[in-house]
Amino acid sequence: MSAGLTAAMAEWEAGPAALRRLRRGLPPRLSLAVDEAAGDLQRELTRRLGPSYTLDDLYAIYGDAEAWGRIVVSRALAPQSRPELVAPMIDAAFQRAVSGARPA
């Protein structure tokens, strides 16, 4: 496993906890929008990965995930803008995708 993948996996593992912290105290309506954004983000990640992928494949698309992830999250949260949610949501989505990776 490369050092880059190891570092990325550490970020992915931290994503769900960071997202939980940021969600505390959100109004119920925004919390529902965050759930919708998380689902949209997961579907986009699945679309980009395809049905069969390795951890290396996951890592390869992580580099530009901030760009497309920001678009996906912004659409789901519109008209609200919550840029602080984007990175933890991306990391949480990638963390969920780790379990579906096939061995290299």
pLDDT tens digits, 40-85: 999 999 999 999 999 999 999 999 999 999 999 999 998 888 899 9
Q: Closest by alpha carbon to 10, among 87, 70, 85, 95?
A: 95
Let me know if residue 104 belongs to a domain.
no
Let me know if residue 47 belongs to a domain.
yes
Let me know if residue 41 belongs to a domain.
yes
Let me know if residue 40 belongs to a domain.
yes
If one counts the domains in the chain, the total is 1
Could you tell me if 44 and 68 are in contact, meaning their C-beta atoms sit under 8 angstroms apart?
yes
| Residue-range definition of the domain harbouring residue 32 | 3-98
pLDDT higher than threshold 90 for residue 1: no
Token pair in block for residue 96: 């969920």
| 3 state DSSP class of 43 | helix
Let me know if residue 50 belongs to a domain.
yes
Query: Which pLDDT score, from 0 to 100, does residue 19 have?
Result: 92
Global pTM reads 0.92
